[in-house]
Amino acid sequence: MAIWAIVPAAGVGSRLGGPVPKQYLPLLGRTVVERSIDCLLAIPGVERVVVAIGAHDVYWQKLPCAQHPRVTVVTGGSERQSSVLNALRSIHAEAKSEDWVLVHDAVRPCVKSEDIENLIDRVKDDEVGGLLASLMDNTVKRAAKSEFDVRVAETLDRAQLYNALTPQMFRIEKLFSALSEAAEQSASITDEASAMERMGWSPLLVEGCKTNIKITHSSDLLLAEAILNNLQRLDD
């Protein structure tokens, strides 16, 4: 069983503000994307990590990981699904249709190795594939919006609600087909699992640690520092 990895890193991270895309911001002496890639390179059996960067990216080639023998780069697209599709095309000649691919956010540098290994172990014999996810902690309200205000429409049962995390793991051929069809139909795809769902497949939810945060706002960087420092202390 061969496993490949893809890191879509073509986004500009506009919600964080500032001139530097959030994947290239410093995090404990390295960039966010380097730490995210390290998480994948540490997993036995991962053949290669393909990073999809922006067409006008001026940061990637300055990183030490750009020269890593198991890391390659492709030009990404304006949307996540385009970046993942381009990365899948780049490994098409080498990979087999039944090989697996892990797709991991460039801005999730705190994922634990044991969570990725557990995902692989749980999904490797599954017909569809799956993703890391965490149960919702907070009470969740569905909103009813009007031109005047926003009010509560109902309270949802959080026991059935999960936060979708990454990596997400699927067979290469199935994921390529799902993303290609979504692109052809201009469907809105938020993650790889949603593309698979459009095809009628139900990905497996594999519980992961809630510290696998996505860096979206500036406060998330401070939280990521605290998480990584704590993980380092536990390893020591």
pLDDT for the residue 99: 96
How many distinct structural domains can be found in the chain? 1
Residue 16's pLDDT band (cuts 50, 70, 90): low
CB neighbourhood size of 98 (10 A): 11
Q: What is the dihedral of CA 146, 147, 149, 155, to 10 degrees?
A: 20
pTM for this predicted structure = 0.94
Residue 181's pLDDT band (cuts 50, 70, 90): very high
CATH number for 223: 3.90.550.10
Contact (CB, 8 A) for 136 and 155: no
pLDDT for the residue 28: 95
Question: Across residues 144-158, what is the average pLDDT?
Answer: 93
Proportion of the chain above pLDDT 90, given as a percent? 88
CB neighbourhood size of 130 (10 A): 22
Q: Could you give the angle at which helices 32-41 and 218-235 cross, rounded to 10 degrees? A: 40
Structural domain boundaries enclosing 144: 3-235
